[in-house]
């Protein structure tokens, strides 16, 4: 394999790995902050135990999110130096701002939160977990500003002499219409991920009914809270996703065509339930489509033309040069889209049912649902991962849409051997660490709120900071 292919594998591996941890960090930090705020407002010890217990799981996950983020930052320069030279003027700024505005806030106040339980007034301590949650989500915003430029370049001029793009309008960059749909989607999928994590672990405990009444009450309340949180998250994620799809038809029609396996333009266009394509010949072999539904997805009405791959290829050849292939890997884009959307609607159903049971008088959840929910922890991970695969793969062959091809972005002086060596090194470390991470998460999740917190329960409820 060439250095380019290996560098792509390394980038894919690192981003996917990083994004295993990030959404949970985004969503769970807010939920822990909410729990602790409830404690601050009501003085009920159960909320303190909640913040501590879910907070501990949050920390185990957080550690891996941080360290893999550093790898990403370094990787642009290491494997994609031509990209960095071409894009630094635009891409570097949000990255630096992310560190300055978000990472400092997040990491500083995380230290304060971990070590400040007994040392700080309750209000300041509660504010510190909010600072962590806000920092984490601000960081998502800035990295998506950077990514959005790759999807939809705005506010720039191409300096041919220097062979780079230069920023002309910072405000355009941060109000890029792509980031305005992408950030809410990532933000709400974080909420959904956090909610399903709490729902799944709570369900596991409720099913076993071990521990005292206090313990059961703890998980019942956690379940209820996460159900509310989860339904908000998943409804919004689907709504925003719909807007995002419409935006995609407008700005990256080729990605949509690939995601739908739509080879020829249609009006009205049908939404593919399943398409078997001859991906080599770029033609459809067999397909079941819901008539008009793709037009609806695109335009909110049941007619309107959605362009197919062949027409778009012809258009792009006119615009960007003949004889090049402007079609992304169709099968991967197509199936990733389906995996994401499928997992999404499954989550909508499960979150709805969870909320229904939690809202009943007794708050007792049906056994079968308790059995299902621990497995459902995996659903947001499937949706998050394939969502990103579709976003990034569907943009190919471009690394920056319309401006730079991925093959032109790779470091010219880094050999295949070097990339292969580090790819092996990172893979070994990633795989070992994810094993340890899952082991620790499972260990502490099973243990339940620990005995240390018994003191917290015994604490007189009247003590305030």
Q: Which is nearer to other proteins, 36 or 192 (CB)?
A: 36
Close Cβ partners of 259 (under 8 Å, ≥ 6 residues apart) = 248, 333, 334, 336, 337, 390, 394
According to the binding rule CB under 8 A, does residue 108 interact with other proteins? yes
Phi and psi at 156, nearest 5°, equal: -140, 170
According to the binding rule CB under 8 A, does residue 454 interact with other proteins? no
According to the binding rule CB under 8 A, does residue 315 interact with other proteins? no
- In the complex, minimum distance from the CB of residue 286 to other proteins, in angstroms, rounded to a whole number: 46
Q: Which is nearer to other proteins, 55 or 200 (CB)?
A: 55
**Which stretch, 76-84, 255-263, 303-311, 342-350, contacts other proteins (CB under 8 A)?**
76-84
According to the binding rule CB under 8 A, does residue 11 interact with other proteins? no
According to the binding rule CB under 8 A, does residue 110 interact with other proteins? yes
Q: In 3-state terms, what secondary structure has residue 282?
A: coil
Give bridge partners of residue 284 from the DSSP assignment: 277
CB–CB of 398/29 below 8 Å? no
Q: In 3-state terms, what secondary structure has residue 46?
A: helix
**Tokens at residue 9, please?**
């594998």
- In the complex, minimum distance from the CB of residue 2 to other proteins, in angstroms, rounded to a whole number: 16
Q: Which is nearer to other proteins, 371 or 443 (CB)?
A: 443
Q: What separation, in Å, do the N-terminal and C-terminal C-alpha atoms of the chain show?
A: 62
Give, as ranges, the residues between 119 and 158 that touch other proteins (CB under 8 A): 119-120
**Which stretch, 22-30, 230-238, 332-340, 408-416, contacts other proteins (CB under 8 A)?**
408-416
* Torsion sign (Cα): 172, 22, 221, 456: negative
CB–CB of 120/128 below 8 Å? yes
CA 156 to chain centre: 27
Distances (CA, A) of 205 to 317, 354, 381: 58, 15, 21
Distances (CA, A) of 235 to 8, 32, 345, 347: 34, 21, 9, 9
Q: Which is nearer to other proteins, 356 or 444 (CB)?
A: 444
Residue corresponding to tokens 């012809």 = 314
Please, which contacts does 360-365 make with residues 24 or more away whose CB atoms are closer than 8 Å?
A: 363/220, 363/224, 365/203, 365/206, 365/223
* Torsion sign (Cα): 343, 344, 346, 352: positive
CB–CB of 164/157 below 8 Å? no
User: What is the C-alpha separation between 50 and 35, in angstroms, rounded?
Assistant: 6
**Which stretch, 101-109, 253-261, 295-303, 385-393, contacts other proteins (CB under 8 A)?**
101-109
Please identify which residue in 100, 276, 290, 314 interacts with other proteins, judged by CB under 8 A. Answer: 100
According to the binding rule CB under 8 A, does residue 349 interact with other proteins? no
According to the binding rule CB under 8 A, does residue 444 interact with other proteins? yes
Give, as ranges, the residues between 168 and 227 that touch other proteins (CB under 8 A): 168, 170
**Which stretch, 42-50, 60-68, 179-187, 360-368, contacts other proteins (CB under 8 A)?**
60-68
- In the complex, minimum distance from the CB of residue 182 to other proteins, in angstroms, rounded to a whole number: 20
User: What is the C-alpha separation between 383 and 111, in angstroms, rounded?
Assistant: 31
**Which stretch, 41-49, 234-242, 376-384, 412-420, contacts other proteins (CB under 8 A)?**
412-420
Based on the number of CB atoms within 10 Å of its own CB, is 115 exposed (0-12), middle (13-18) or buried (19 or more)?
exposed
**Tokens at residue 351, please?**
């979150």
* Torsion sign (Cα): 354, 195, 31, 391: negative
According to the binding rule CB under 8 A, does residue 13 interact with other proteins? no
Please identify which residue in 13, 85, 315, 329 interacts with other proteins, judged by CB under 8 A. Answer: 85
According to the binding rule CB under 8 A, does residue 408 interact with other proteins? no
According to the binding rule CB under 8 A, does residue 115 interact with other proteins? yes
- In the complex, minimum distance from the CB of residue 389 to other proteins, in angstroms, rounded to a whole number: 23
**Which stretch, 28-36, 83-91, 268-276, 327-335, contacts other proteins (CB under 8 A)?**
83-91
Q: Which is nearer to other proteins, 382 or 418 (CB)?
A: 418
According to the binding rule CB under 8 A, does residue 327 interact with other proteins? no
Q: Which is nearer to other proteins, 170 or 320 (CB)?
A: 170
**Which stretch, 98-106, 183-191, 298-306, 386-394, contacts other proteins (CB under 8 A)?**
98-106
- In the complex, minimum distance from the CB of residue 282 to other proteins, in angstroms, rounded to a whole number: 35
Give, as ranges, the residues between 415 and 434 that touch other proteins (CB under 8 A): 418, 421-422, 425-426, 429, 433
Distances (CA, A) of 316 to 254, 310, 397, 398, 417: 10, 10, 12, 12, 35
Please identify which residue in 88, 211, 329, 342 interacts with other proteins, judged by CB under 8 A. Answer: 88
Q: Which is nearer to other proteins, 111 or 378 (CB)?
A: 111
- In the complex, minimum distance from the CB of residue 273 to other proteins, in angstroms, rounded to a whole number: 42
């Amino acid at each position: 394999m060439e250095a380019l292919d290996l560098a792509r594998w390394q980038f894919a591996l690192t981003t996917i790995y990083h994004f295993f941890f990030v959404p949970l960090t985004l969503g769970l930090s807010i939920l822990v902050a909410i729990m602790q705020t409830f404690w601050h407002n009501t003085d009920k010890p159960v909320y303190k135990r909640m913040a501590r217990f879910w907070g501990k799981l949050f920390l185990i996950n957080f550690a891996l999110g941080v360290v893999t983020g550093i790898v990403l930052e370094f990787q642009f320069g290491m494997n994609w130096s031509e990209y960095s030279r071409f894009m630094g003027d635009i891409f570097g700024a949000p990255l630096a701002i992310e560190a300055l505005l978000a990472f400092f806030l997040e990491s500083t106040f995380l230290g304060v939160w971990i070590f400040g339980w007994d040392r700080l007034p309750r209000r300041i301590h509660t504010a510190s977990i909010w600072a962590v949650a806000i920092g984490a989500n601000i960081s998502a915003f800035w990295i998506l500003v950077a990514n959005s430029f790759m999807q939809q370049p705005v506010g720039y001029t191409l300096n041919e002499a220097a062979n780079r793009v230069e920023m002309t309008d910072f405000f355009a960059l941060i109000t890029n219409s792509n980031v305005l749909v992408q950030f809410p989607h990532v933000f709400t999928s974080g909420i959904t991920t956090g909610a399903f994590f709490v729902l799944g672990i709570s369900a596991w405990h409720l099913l076993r009914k071990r521990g005292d009444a206090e313990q059961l009450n703890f998980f019942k309340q956690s379940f209820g809270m996460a159900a509310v949180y989860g339904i908000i998250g998943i409804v919004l994620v689907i709504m925003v996703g719909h807007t995002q799809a419409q935006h995609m038809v407008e700005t990256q029609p080729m990605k949509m065509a690939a995601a739908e396996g739509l080879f020829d333009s249609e009006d009205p266009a049908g939404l593919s339930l399943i398409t078997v394509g001859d991906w080599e010949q770029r033609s459809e072999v067999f397909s079941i489509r819901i008539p008009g539904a793709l037009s609806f997805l695109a335009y909110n009405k049941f007619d309107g033309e959605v362009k197919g791959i062949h027409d778009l290829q012809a258009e792009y050849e006119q615009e960007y040069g003949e004889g090049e292939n402007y079609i992304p890997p169709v099968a991967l884009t197509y199936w990733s889209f389906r995996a994401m959307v499928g997992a999404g609607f499954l989550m909508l159903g499960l979150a709805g049912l969870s909320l229904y049971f939690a809202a009943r008088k007794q708050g007792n959840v049906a056994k079968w649902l308790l059995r299902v929910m621990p497995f459902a922890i995996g659903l947001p991970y499937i949706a998050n991962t394939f969502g990103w695969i579709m976003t990034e793969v569907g943009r190919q062959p471009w690394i920056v849409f319309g401006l730079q091809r991925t093959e032109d972005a790779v470091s010219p002086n880094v050999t295949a051997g070097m990339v292969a060596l580090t790819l092996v090194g990172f893979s070994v470390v990633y795989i070992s660490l994810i094993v340890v991470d899952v082991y620790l998460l499972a260990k502490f999740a099973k243990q339940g709120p620990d005995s240390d917190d018994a003191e917290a329960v015994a604490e007189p409820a009247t003590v305030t900071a």
